[in-house]
Amino acid sequence: PPGQRFDVVDVFRNSDDVPPVIDDAIAVGAGMVWLQLGVAHPQAQAKAQAAGLGVVHNRCIKLDHMAWLAQG
């Protein structure tokens, strides 16, 4: 939506579907993309990084958040 900024684009798609999601994340000025467990696309990840987005791949945002909370 106009005027809104997206901090994280969380991707639950097949790896082959990642490039257009990366293009959209770049277009909206997202801060980063998070590719869930089993999801990776090196070329699209490199494109995102070159555009200034942070990239996390093959990780679960919920599991990482729970681990962070457990560290207290």
- What is the per-residue pLDDT for 30? 95
- Secondary element (H or E) of residue 34: strand 32-35
- What is the per-residue pLDDT for 4? 77
62 CB neighbour count, 10 Å cutoff: 10
Spatial separation of the C-alpha atoms in residues 66 and 40, rounded to whole Å: 22
Total-model pTM: 0.85
- What is the per-residue pLDDT for 5? 82
- 10-residue averages of pLDDT along the chain (72 residues): 82 96 95 95 97 95 92 83
